[in-house]
Amino acid sequence: GITRHYTFNVQMTNVTRLCVTRSIPTVNGQFPGPKLVAREGDRLVIKVHNHMNYNVSFHWHGIQQLRNGWADGPSYITQCPIQGGGSYTYDFTITGQRGTLWWHAHFSWLRVHLYGPLVILPKRGEGYPFPRPYKELPPIMFGEWFNADTEAVINQALQTGGGPNVSDAYTFNGLPGPTYNCSSKEPMNELITDLIDALVADTYKLKVQPGRTYLLRLINSALNDELFFGIANHTLTVVEADANYVKPFTAKTLVISPGQTINVLLTTPPNPASQAYAMAIAPYTNTIGTFDNTTAAAVLEYAPTRATSNNRLPLPALPRYNDTNAVANFTSKFRSLATARYPARVPLAVDRHVLFTVGLGTDPCPSNQTCQGPNGTKFAASMNNNSFVRPRVALLEAHYQRRYAGVLMANFPTTPPHPFNYTGTPPNNTFVTHGTRIVPLKFNTSVELVLQGTSIQGAESHPLHMHGYNFFVVGQGFGNYDPVNDPAKYNLVDPVERNTVSVPTAGWVAVRFLADNPGVWLMHCHFDVHLSWGLSMAWLINDGPLPNQKMLPPPSDLPKC
């Protein structure tokens, strides 16, 4: 591999969306941020200069960072944040990975503005395990735009104890589509319906030719929403998830959770009936009303274009916002390639079985306050009733120096303190404990982790993301996880390998991984509001006995707290 150098100047930049101009953090003045491109085996050296008067750190979402947690980026987990005026260089090598990943800020809610694609091409001379596409289209990142200041939104949610204010629009590569008429200051129709509307500013356009097959990379970087995605009159062939090839399957609608990436092949008809088609995203959630329920649109445009006007723009039909069956059906289709070249290295024997309940809980309301959470309480979020408390120093440094006292507790519960049961009394996950708790693991422990969602009704699924690892999704289902009968149905042959999995609403998911990457690795819900409420924990994987099984030493410019 070669070494590729990038510079990130993090600065405030004026950006106008939905007729509102805001000064937002950007990388090099770009929103969304720059696309990083590398090949498998390359080394990336990214110099970050923070010109804001605000902390920041960056995470390379899905990069495994073997023995090198120092480059992983979550603030107070693997590093102290880069303070205003400060700099830090992320230096890592991409080993054994290729596909679509992304990068984002990992401090507070800054990732709402600070994100970009990270495309890892196969090694030179190595192709894809599917027919070579005519071209690669620019990656599409789905996001959210808030007219309000997002720090104010999160502070409101933390202080009042209720749900946060929702975003004002979803976006395609930062563009909301023609959802708002700036001169009349009126929202326009939910979706564009004719080409004239479609060609106004603020609409993302993807240009294609008839009769070709393209590779399209899709990334959900929204803060708090799982999304449906579709293109009118086009069928997509899914070929990759979270930078892992999958057995190809076709779909009209995709479901993509925050943190996840999906690559599709888009084959265009030789004689398209329309000059352009709408692409759309809309949320999947059971709790409409507390979510942004708008639909955002972009345009797939055929070139060369015919000069026409008033063409109706065909719209994709997306499932209803609460169509859990559509979601379950889609997620059940993912399978690893599991070939000799791309084997599925799923651990067959398990050393540690652990089960986490995952869901929202509550804290009592302080007596001098009025809280807006359920029954006058404050929302908290937890796994096994523990709501994660952000430490004041970086856990990875504390671990490297073996200074644990007062920083972390190695007693994160690995079975639920209040067994959860859908058929019995309601889940006892209200009232949580708080602590910076981790699960320590010996090097090379093979782990089976069952994540049991505790939402009974009117709640959402939780996209759980693990840093430093991929895991294999060996099983999932609705209702209570059954430790006697469910394991018999596991797929240990070709389970999909991912870094983010959605714990289904009113259901469970089982994953397996081999703890062979020493360090401290965060695992959390990729809804930022749930992360802020504490839906997070960390795994501490100890060094192995051999020199190449130990953490690398920290770089000299590692920021101080």
CB of 304 to ligand C2O, least distance (A): 39
Q: In what order do the strands lie in the sheet with 3-17?
A: 20-27, 3-17, 43-50, 87-93
Q: Tell me the sheet residues that pair with 440.
A: 540
Give the torsion sign (CA, 473, 477, 482, 487).
negative
CB of 329 to ligand C2O, least distance (A): 26
d(CA 74, CA 528): 13
d(CA 133, CA 151): 42
3-state SS class at 365: coil
Cis bond before residue 559 (omega within 30° of 0): no
Piece in contact with ligand C2O (CB under 6 A), picked from 6-14, 183-191, 268-276, 520-528: 520-528
Piece in contact with ligand C2O (CB under 6 A), picked from 300-308, 314-322, 398-406, 522-530: 522-530
Residue 481: φ, ψ to 5° = -65, 135
d(CA 288, CA 532): 21
CB of 524 to ligand C2O, least distance (A): 6
Q: Give me the residue whose beta carbon is nearest to ligand C2O.
A: 61
The candidate with the shortest Cα–Cα distance to 509, out of 358, 350, 345, is: 358
Nearer to ligand C2O, 221 or 491 (CB): 221
Nearer to ligand C2O, 60 or 379 (CB): 60
CB of 501 to ligand C2O, least distance (A): 13
Interface with ligand C2O in residues 64-93 (CB under 6 A):
74
Piece in contact with ligand C2O (CB under 6 A), picked from 30-38, 180-188, 359-367, 521-529: 521-529
522 binds ligand C2O (CB under 6 A): yes
Nearer to ligand C2O, 191 or 408 (CB): 408
CB 356 within 8 A of CB 42: no
498 binds ligand C2O (CB under 6 A): no
Judged by CB under 6 A, the residue of 22, 59, 399, 498 near ligand C2O is: 59
Contacts for 368-373 with beta carbons within 8 Å, 24 or more apart? 369/161, 370/160, 371/160, 371/161, 371/162, 372/160, 372/161, 372/162, 372/163, 373/161, 373/162
The candidate with the shortest Cα–Cα distance to 108, out of 390, 483, 437, 365, is: 390
- Cβ count near 411 (within 10 Å): 12
Helices (H), 306-394: 324-331
61 binds ligand C2O (CB under 6 A): yes
CB of 74 to ligand C2O, least distance (A): 5
Nearer to ligand C2O, 58 or 229 (CB): 58
222 binds ligand C2O (CB under 6 A): no
CB of 526 to ligand C2O, least distance (A): 6
Q: Tell me the sheet residues that pair with 266.
A: 214, 236
Nearer to ligand C2O, 98 or 524 (CB): 524
Q: Using alpha carbons only, what angle is made at residue 490 by residues 465 and 382, rounded to the nearest 5 degrees?
A: 35
Using the structure block, give the residue that is written with the tokens 């942004």. 292
CB of 131 to ligand C2O, least distance (A): 31
CB of 166 to ligand C2O, least distance (A): 20
Question: Helix (H) and strand (E) counts for the chain?
Answer: 5, 35
Judged by CB under 6 A, the residue of 234, 462, 524, 530 near ligand C2O is: 524
512 binds ligand C2O (CB under 6 A): no
Nearer to ligand C2O, 222 or 231 (CB): 222
User: Which residues, other chains included, contact 513 with Cβ-Cβ below 8 Å and sequence gap of 6+?
Assistant: 347, 446, 447, 449, 466, 469, 470, 471, 472
d(CA 265, CA 212): 10
Judged by CB under 6 A, the residue of 259, 314, 468, 559 near ligand C2O is: 259
Nearer to ligand C2O, 441 or 535 (CB): 535
CB of 539 to ligand C2O, least distance (A): 13
Piece in contact with ligand C2O (CB under 6 A), picked from 91-99, 224-232, 273-281, 519-527: 519-527
- Here's the x/- map for ligand C2O, 448-467, by CB under 6 A: it reads as -----------------x-x
Nearer to ligand C2O, 78 or 285 (CB): 78
Instruction: Specify the DSSP element, H or E, that contains 521.
Output: strand 519-525
Nearer to ligand C2O, 114 or 276 (CB): 114
Q: Which two tokens stand for residue 27?
A: 């990388």
- Here's the x/- map for ligand C2O, 96-135, by CB under 6 A: it reads as --------x-x-----------------------------
Piece in contact with ligand C2O (CB under 6 A), picked from 270-278, 285-293, 310-318, 518-526: 518-526
Which residues bind to ligand C2O, rule: CB under 6 A? 59, 61, 74, 104, 106, 259, 465, 467, 522, 524, 526
